[in-house]
């Protein structure tokens, strides 16, 4: 890039955990960031699963550079061994961090397109010398054009949950049945939400940590006085195996292991029955206003009142169409990263730490980070996102050695993709039945969550979901 381009900011899309950490790392390197957030505050996606508790502790969901930025304000990190809820994470860390960044964070700024100035996707001539141009829409509908020297997309995956259909497409009748279907972990502390599921038969579709969280929550509801008659049918596309419920006592994140045990208890206790090898083909209404799920093999399940679909999250690539991205055809993750995070081969603990080299694309100086970098893979941890942006910031500042250095060790084993559940929370923490479990976009694995910024999650690893370390 030319000298005039070097004076432009690095634009970060999404003011979630990874996006704000990216801004802190850039400032640490003397590079000016500009964070664009679609929502009205920091961590919009995380706030959407504020009732879910991360299975990663505070010590693993605060970025070191961000902590240094906060220190002069008198901010003190909460007890490192405690596990925040999504709401805690947003209110006690992410929003204060955004406040310190001040005007470097711009809210109500939805990114609708990214390209090279004066160059569409086809044009080669002097492409790398042109600044990036981003089109944004404000809350009042007006549009704005912003130029940048580099783009870091940390918008997460929270806004694009997977469908119930076994083929990756919505099942027939799924859209028409939208009033009976939720794609999020329900907040059963909310009286209106609780009434929706109390005494009802609910189908839970999915096999990750977010599904575990929903099953455990429904089981708790069934045990309560106001939940008599509550029952769940757990729909798995695969069969049950020894690894279905995660790492248990062997998990280096104990809360993540406890989540799998809670889901197993829901099944063993008769609060949920498992239907295996079932790929949903259609939703059909019965005569009483309930739904019948029909499988690709023709099986018809008993009618249910509600359906909770927790089949993972997907990246929204629509506003990046004019950029030359190198994405794996299956996972929609950067080509060099995809083999390292293939869910057929890796759990959270077996993914090798990675940075700017693995996150690069044919389009120079554009990076997808956080949960979005994982595409459709469900194994993301907040710590991973922080390491990514440390490396990317170093690369953009010209420090190649630091960009290539590995500064992260991940906890091994366990279920990835979502949440954290607690059997016996500390006295000052909400009970498990009140808080659910998981993170979306950070700490442990996530299912969740974005800030499309768009509004980030990054951390799918919560619940979303995703712990989110995303719902």
**Per-residue pLDDT tens over the stretch 150-205:** 999 999 999 999 999 999 999 999 999 999 999 999 999 999 999 999 999 999 99
Examine the pLDDT at 149 and tell me if it is beyond 60: yes
Do 456 and 16 contact (CB within 8 A), yes or no? yes
Whether the bond between 465 and the residue before it is cis, its omega within 30 degrees of 0, is: yes
Q: At what angle do helices 382-396 and 17-28 cross, to 10 degrees?
A: 30
Whether the bond between 445 and the residue before it is cis, its omega within 30 degrees of 0, is: no
**Within the chain, how many helices (H) and strands (E) appear?**
14, 17
Written as one string, the DSSP assignment of 281-300 is EEEEE-TTS-EEEEETTS-B
Can you tell me which residue has the tokens 């083909």?
281
Cα separation, 187 vs 205, in Å, equals 17
Per-residue confidence at 249, pLDDT binned at 50, 70, 90? low
State the DSSP H helix or E strand holding residue 44, giving kind and residue range, or none if neither.
helix 44-48
Q: Which tens digit of pLDDT belongs to each residue from 5-29?
A: 779 999 999 999 999 999 999 999 9
Q: Are strands 33-36 and 105-106 parallel, antiparallel or unpaired?
A: parallel
CA angle 204, 205, 211 (to 5 degrees): 70
Worst-scoring range by mean pLDDT, 56-60, 192-196, 357-361, 426-430? 426-430
Distance of CA 198 to the CA centre of its chain: 27
What radius of gyration do the chain's Cα atoms show? 21
Residue-wise burial string across 388-404, b where 16 or more C-beta atoms lie within 10 A, e elsewhere = bbbbbbbbbbeeeebbe
Taking residue 125's Cβ as centre, other Cβ atoms within 10 Å add up to 8
């Amino acid at each position: 890039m030319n000298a005039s381009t070097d004076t432009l900011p690095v634009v970060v899309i999404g003011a979630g955990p990874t996006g704000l950490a990216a801004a802190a790392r850039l400032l640490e390197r003397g590079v000016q960031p500009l964070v664009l957030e679609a929502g009205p505050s920091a961590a919009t996606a995380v706030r959407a699963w504020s009732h879910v508790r991360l299975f990663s502790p505070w010590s693993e969901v605060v970025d070191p550079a961000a902590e240094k930025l906060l220190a002069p304000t008198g901010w003190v990190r909460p007890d490192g061994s405690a596990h925040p809820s999504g709401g805690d994470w947003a209110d006690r860390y992410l929003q204060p961090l955004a406040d310190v960044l001040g005007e470097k964070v711009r809210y109500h700024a939805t990114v609708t397109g990214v390209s090279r100035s004066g160059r569409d996707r086809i044009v080669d001539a002097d492409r790398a010398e042109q600044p990036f141009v981003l089109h944004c829409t404000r809350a009042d509908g007006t549009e704005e054009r912003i130029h940048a020297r580099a783009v870091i997309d940390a918008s997460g995956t929270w806004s694009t949950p997977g469908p119930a259909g076994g083929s990756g497409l919505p099942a027939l009748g799924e859209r028409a049945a939208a009033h009976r279907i939720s794609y999020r972990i329900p907040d059963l502390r909310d009286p209106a939400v609780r009434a929706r599921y109390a005494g009802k038969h609910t189908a839970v579709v999915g096999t990750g940590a977010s599904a575990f969280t929903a099953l455990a929550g429904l089981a708790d509801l069934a045990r309560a006085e106001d939940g008599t008659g509550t029952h769940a049918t757990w729909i798995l596309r695969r069969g049950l195996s020894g690894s279905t419920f995660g790492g248990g006592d062997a998990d280096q994140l104990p809360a993540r292991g406890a989540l799998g045990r809670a889901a197993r208890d829901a099944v063993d206790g008769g609060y949920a029955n498992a239907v295996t090898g079932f790929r949903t083909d259609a939703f059909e209404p019965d005569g009483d206003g309930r739904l019948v799920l029909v499988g690709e093999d023709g099986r018809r399940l008993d009618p249910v009142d509600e359906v909770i679909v927790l089949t993972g999250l997907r990246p929204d690539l629509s506003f990046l169409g004019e950029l030359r991205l190198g994405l794996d055809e299956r996972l929609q993750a950067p080509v060099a990263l995809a083999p390292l995070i293939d869910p057929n081969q890796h759990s959270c603990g077996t993914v090798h730490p990675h940075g700017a080299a693995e996150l690069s694309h044919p389009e120079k100086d554009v990076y997808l980070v956080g949960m979005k970098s994982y595409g459709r893979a469900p194994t993301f941890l907040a710590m991973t996102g922080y390491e990514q942006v440390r490396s990317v910031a170093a690369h953009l500042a010209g420090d190649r050695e630091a960009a290539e250095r590995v500064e992260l060790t991940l906890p091994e084993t366990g279920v990835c993709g979502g949440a954290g559940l607690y059997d016996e929370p500390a006295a000052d923490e909400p009970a498990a039945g009140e808080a659910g479990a998981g993170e979306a976009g950070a700490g442990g694995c996530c299912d969740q969550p974005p800030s499309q910024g768009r509004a980030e999650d990054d951390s799918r690893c919560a619940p979303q979901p995703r712990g989110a370390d995303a719902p």
